[in-house]
Amino acid sequence: MLQSKLAKLSKKPSLAITIGDPAGIGPEIVIKTLAKKEVYQICQPVVIGTKSVLDFYLKKYPPVVSNREFELINIGKIRKLNFGMTNSEYGQLSYEYIKKAVELVQNGQVDGLVTAPISKEALNRAGLNYSGHTEILAELTGKKNLLMLMVNKKLKVAMVTRHLPLKDVANSLTKEKIILAIKLGAKALEKYFSIAKLRIAVCALNPHRGEGGVLGKEEKEIIIPAIKQVTGYKLQVTGPLPADTVFQWWKKYDLIIVMYHDQAMIPLKLLDPYSLVNVTLGLPFIRTSPGHGTAFDIAGKNLADARPMFSAVKLAAEMCLREREKKKTKH
């Protein structure tokens, strides 16, 4: 059983950090993040992964990691580590890391969760039919109304739909999903980022916001009715606006609502990929992750940039402290 003695003695939040898919860059960016002195100034890390995988990287970076104090929960064994390979064994382990981390945070043994990237293909090869972390977390916590909020130093963008084939996006859109994205996103920005009187922009789905129905009817039938309903909640919401216009004038808005994954990720990564963090809203705890995938092509080559992972840890620690302050205020 995890003791977390350091975490209990410290005012710093404790964070469960999963290493992601063993064959991807997850373990590397976790170890590189743990090598930073600042990490131990802001949190107490509790790493969840397979020891032999971490040992590979610890041997590469022993001088910078050996004098750091973090707890390790060892899960599973890997006979041979094949970088960049997608297989069921790695998919199953990725899931077990997440499951253990959720157990720890739900039991109050850690304060928050930071996850390194997983492979959706590996999960499915293991018979785990999830399209990503968010769907796993929804099932493990019993929470259905979750939202992906992407944050970097320049932008905060919430996605109405997540990991869907582009051909399925239009049929998946509903007024209720758009309202949820606006309300959850607005609440999070006020609570964790202290932004009052939010300026919110909602992107259209279709080019030129549908051209009055000529290029698509989703704006008239779904998006506009959602915005009208939310405006009654005293939120300053503008839209639907063409996505290219919104991101051209992004400095005018505190929160941007997009209809699908790449509508957010392309401008976010063009503006600032290195501080990009995914925050899952709607969970009973704080969860963040770096805003990128497993990068199988560079796994095991010491080429991975750990800045997004460090940003995820830093943001999770800050959000946990905010959460703690809010609880103290209530009491």
Does some domain include residue 26? Answer: yes
- The single-letter code of the amino acid at 176 is E
In a domain, 276, yes or no: no
Q: Are residues 65 and 214 in the same domain?
A: no
Domain end point (choices 228, 249, 271)? 271
185 and 227 belong to one structural domain = yes
Q: Which domain holds residue 205?
A: 154-271
Predicted pLDDT at 8: 43
| The predicted structure's pLDDT at residue 220 | 96
Report the DSSP beta bridge partners of residue 257: 158, 202
Domain boundary pick from 235, 252, 271: 271
Q: Are residues 140 and 15 in the same domain?
A: yes
Specify the pLDDT at position 6.
39
- Is 16:289 a contact under the CB 8 Å cutoff? no
182 lies in some domain: yes
pLDDT of residue 236: 86
Separation CA 74–CA 49 (nearest Å): 5
25 and 81 in one domain?
A: yes
The Cα 261–Cα 238 span in angstroms is 20
Helical packing angle, 175-193 and 224-231, nearest 10°: 50
Please give the tally of structural domains in the chain. 2
Residue 93's nearest CA partner among 18, 149, 184 is: 18
The verdict on residue 3 lying in a domain is yes
Last residue of a domain, one of 271, 295, 317: 271
Both 77 and 160 in one domain: the answer is no
Cα four-point dihedral sign 309, 85, 93, 6: negative
Mean pLDDT for each consecutive 10-residue tract of the chain (331 residues)? 41 95 96 92 96 86 62 91 93 98 97 97 95 94 95 95 93 96 95 89 95 92 94 82 95 97 95 95 97 95 94 97 79 54
> Does the residue 43 lie in any domain?
yes
How far is it, in rounded angstroms, from Cα 316 to Cα 145?
20
- pLDDT score for 235: 79
Q: Do residue 8 and residue 130 come from a single domain? A: yes
Whether 74 and 125 map to the same domain: the answer is yes
Same-domain check for residues 129 and 76: yes
Where residue 249 sits, what CATH number does that domain have? 3.40.718.10
